[in-house]
């Protein structure tokens, strides 16, 4: 290869035209390429998130690379990070730092890895050094980005939109982002509307942009599961234009809120997850939470150029009673109950869908649902038991204790007024399952004790203060 060709490829790379550079280089047999062009090809693959190909072509020149070749080890580290092979990426980044202790790219890569793995101590240490070397570079990645969300690259966005068109139907319109003040803001999360047709008599509302963020689940075994998701909702046409527009607006608003939640709170959503609002989702509906279900409409998920899949989750709004049932019994039991009571209506959104447990709720709660606020910052299972003395008779909590949870949704917390006798406690109708946040609204003074471990118990003394109990109630 002559120098003019290498110069042309270098120009394409400087202009960010990496796919074009790849095509130009691949006009030749890889075995004919010089080490310099092989490395340029690997870098282009990496910039296009084709990490497996990056490592494949770098393998061809590994015997010719010096042990102290910083660029080579950086490329290896970056490709392994892109494939979520964090241990190998850390090893290669550490090798870069051995070569040059001021290699800010290696330190920043370590910051990214530790952040995604949830290793906050290592993240802070690496961040301190990276900021000492180049604070602007660190700030550009990790600085305050309260109003910034991850976005798809142009090719990724085209693939996601193409998948939606293929499996859900041709996109009709993209909904604007109207905030509470009525102003239309630019927003990286788009909401596509697919109108009803002869094959499907429902509106489909689909997000485009939530999956630009990699949600990371750290399993009990320490492995990382990647969750890239978009959200789908199915809406029954009401025949009333204003009513349909209202539903589209609040559904799209909630989708954008979830997009912000998973990115700004570094969390993730998956099939079976529920999210409670504590109050109504919107002034025009009585739902107060949602559950996510699988939305398998094709033979495979949407696949990005990196090889990562984007799963489309169906978002179903829930009433408070349905939320509580799911917390206790799990989402499969909720779906089975829904199938028995309202059939397919459960899967489709309408303003006034029938409550699965309508007619079975006989109690008048002391605090109406409309006044319940989100006052608890809680990350674990949030189901709990409370007696009617608290939630119906509006008594203060006199005894609180935490026993071994009965399910993966159970926090283990139990709340009593303290004057319930054995006969009262033996009647299962005198207690219900609640969300911890709901009970905190009844008595906020319990919040500071909720992180106490299983086996903890407290009683309220005559001065109104909680004190540890010497034994756990049965």
298 confidence band (pLDDT: 50, 70, 90): low
- 356 part of a folded domain: no
d(C-alpha 295, C-alpha 231), whole Å: 9
Shared-domain flag, residues 137 and 44: yes
Q: At what angle do helices 70-82 and 104-117 cross, to 10 degrees?
A: 20
Of residues 406 and 388, more confidence is placed in 388
Domain-embedded: residue 7: yes
457 domain-assigned:
yes
Asked if residue 245 and residue 328 are part of one domain, the reply reads: yes
Instruction: Examine the pLDDT at 182 and tell me if it is beyond 70.
Output: no
Residue 393: the pLDDT is 93
Same domain? For 321 and 292 the reply is yes
**C-beta separation of 318 from 291 below 8 A:** yes
Q: How confident is the model at residue 140 (pLDDT cuts 50, 70, 90)?
A: confident
Is 269 a member of any domain?
yes
pLDDT, residue 205, reads 93
The predicted structure's pLDDT at residue 363: 66
Place of tokens 């003395």: 389
Q: Is residue 362 part of a domain?
A: no
Do 75 and 45 form a contact (C-beta atoms < 8 A)?
no
pLDDT at 103: 94
- Contact between 89 and 110 under an 8 Å Cβ cutoff? The reply is no
Q: Which helix (H) or strand (E) holds 399?
A: strand 399-402
Same domain assignment for residues 185 and 327: yes
- Please tell me whether residues 86 and 160 are part of one structural domain: no
Q: Are residues 16 and 163 in the same domain?
A: no
Confidence class of residue 385 from pLDDT cuts 50, 70 and 90?
very high
Task: Give the separation between CA 232 and CA 204, rounded to whole angstroms.
Answer: 7
Express the helix, strand and coil content of the chain in percent, nearest 5 each.
Answer: 45, 15, 40
Based on the fold, state whether residues 164 and 133 are members of the same structural domain.
no
For residue 316, with 0-12 CB atoms within 10 Å meaning exposed, 13-18 middle and 19 or more buried, which class applies?
buried
Q: Examine the fold and report which residue of 114, 142, 170 is the final residue of a domain before the chain moves on.
A: 142
Does residue 324 share a domain with residue 191?
Answer: yes
Query: What per-residue string of b and e applies to 94-117 under the rule 16 or more CB within 10 Å gives b?
Result: ebbbebeeebbbbbbbbbbbbbbb
Q: Is residue 147 part of a domain?
A: no
Domain holding 35, by residue range, is: 3-142
For residues 392 and 443, state if they share a domain: yes
230 shares a domain with 178: yes
Let me know: does 390 contact 443? Beta carbons within 8 Å: yes
The last residue of one of the domains, among 314, 347, 380, is: 347
CATH of the domain at 98: 1.25.40.10
Look at residue 256 and give its three-state secondary structure: helix
Which helix (H) or strand (E) segment holds residue 123: the answer is helix 120-142
Integer Cα distance of 281 and 120 in angstroms: 33
Is the CA virtual torsion 438, 443, 444, 445 positive or negative? Answer: negative
* 443 pLDDT more than 80: yes
Cα separation, 197 vs 192, in Å, equals: 16
Backbone angles phi, psi at 454, to 5 degrees: -55, 135
pLDDT, tens digit, 9 for 90 and up, residues 89-132: 999 999 999 999 999 999 999 999 888 777 888 889 999 999 99
For residue 17, the model assigns a pLDDT of: 86
Higher pLDDT, residue 354 or 98? 98
User: Which of 103, 118, 142 is the C-terminal boundary of a domain?
Assistant: 142
Per-residue pLDDT tens digits for 243-284: 677 788 888 888 988 888 887 767 788 888 888 776 677 777
306 within 8 A of 314, measured Cβ to Cβ: no
Q: What's the structural domain count of the chain? A: 3
Residue 319's pLDDT is 87
pLDDT higher than threshold 70 for residue 34: yes
What is the percentage of the chain residues whose pLDDT exceeds 70?
89
DSSP state of 370: G
Nearest to 447, CA basis, from 382, 357, 388, 403: 382
Question: Are 237 and 189 within one domain?
Answer: yes
Counted residue by residue, the chain has a size of: 474
pLDDT at 92: 94
* Phi, psi at 203, each rounded to 5°: -70, 140
The answer to whether residue 360 is domain-embedded is: no
412, 403 contact by CB (below 8 A): yes
User: Is the domain of 44 the same as that of 191?
Assistant: no
Measured distance CA(474)–CA(472) in Å, rounded: 6
Residue 422 included in any domain? yes
């Amino acid at each position: 290869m002559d120098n003019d060709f290498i110069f042309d490829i270098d120009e394409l790379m400087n202009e960010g035209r990496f796919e074009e550079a790849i095509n130009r280089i691949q006009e030749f047999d890889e075995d004919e390429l010089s080490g310099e062009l092989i490395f340029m090809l690997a870098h282009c693959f990496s910039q296009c998130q084709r990490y497996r190909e990056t490592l494949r072509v770098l393998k061809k020149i590994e015997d010719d690379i010096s042990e102290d070749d910083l660029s080579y080890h950086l490329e290896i580290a970056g490709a392994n990070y892109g494939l979520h092979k964090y241990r190998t990426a850390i090893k290669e980044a550490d090798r870069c730092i051995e070569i040059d202790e001021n290699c800010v790219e290696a330190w920043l890569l370590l910051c990214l890895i530790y952040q995604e793995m949830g290793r906050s101590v290592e993240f802070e240490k690496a961040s301190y050094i990276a900021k000492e070397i180049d604070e602007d570079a660190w700030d550009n990645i990790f600085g305050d980005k309260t109003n910034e969300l991850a976005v798809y690259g142009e090719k990724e966005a085209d693939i996601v939109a193409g998948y939606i068109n293929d499996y859900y139907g041709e996109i009709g319109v993209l909904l604007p982002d109207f905030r509470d003040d009525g102003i239309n803001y630019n927003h990286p999360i788009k909401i596509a509307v697919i109108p009803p047709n002869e094959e499907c008599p429902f509106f489909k509302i689909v997000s485009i942009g939530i999956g630009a963020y990699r949600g990371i689940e750290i399993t009990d075994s320490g492995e990382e599961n990647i969750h890239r998701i978009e959200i789908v909702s199915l809406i029954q046409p009401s025949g009333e234009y204003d009513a349909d527009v209202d539903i589209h607006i609040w559904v799209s608003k909630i989708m954008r809120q979830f997009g912000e939640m998973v990115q700004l709170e570094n969390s993730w959503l998956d099939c079976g997850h529920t999210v409670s609002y504590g109050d109504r989702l919107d002034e025009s509906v009585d739902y107060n939470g949602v559950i996510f279900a699988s939305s398998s409409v094709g033979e495979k998920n949407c696949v990005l150029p990196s090889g990562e899949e984007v799963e489309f989750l169906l978002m179903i709004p829930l009433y408070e009673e349905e939320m509580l049932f799911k917390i206790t019994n799990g989402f499969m039991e909720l779906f089975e109950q829904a199938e028995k009571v309202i059939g397919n209506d459960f899967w489709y959104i309408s303003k006034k869908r029938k409550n699965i447990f309508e007619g079975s709720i006989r109690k008048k709660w002391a605090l109406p649902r409309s006044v319940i606020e989100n006052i608890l910052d809680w990350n674990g299972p949030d189901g709990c038991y409370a007696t009617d003395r608290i939630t119906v008779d509006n008594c203060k909590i006199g005894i609180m204790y935490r026993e071994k949870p009965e399910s993966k949704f159970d926090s283990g917390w139990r709340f009593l007024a303290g004057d319930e006798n054995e006969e009262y406690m033996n009647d299962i109708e005198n207690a219900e399952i609640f969300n911890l946040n709901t009970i905190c609204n009844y008595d906020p003074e319990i919040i500071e004790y909720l992180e106490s471990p299983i086996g903890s118990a407290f009683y309220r003394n005559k001065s109104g203060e909680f004190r540890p109990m010497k034994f756990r109630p049965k």
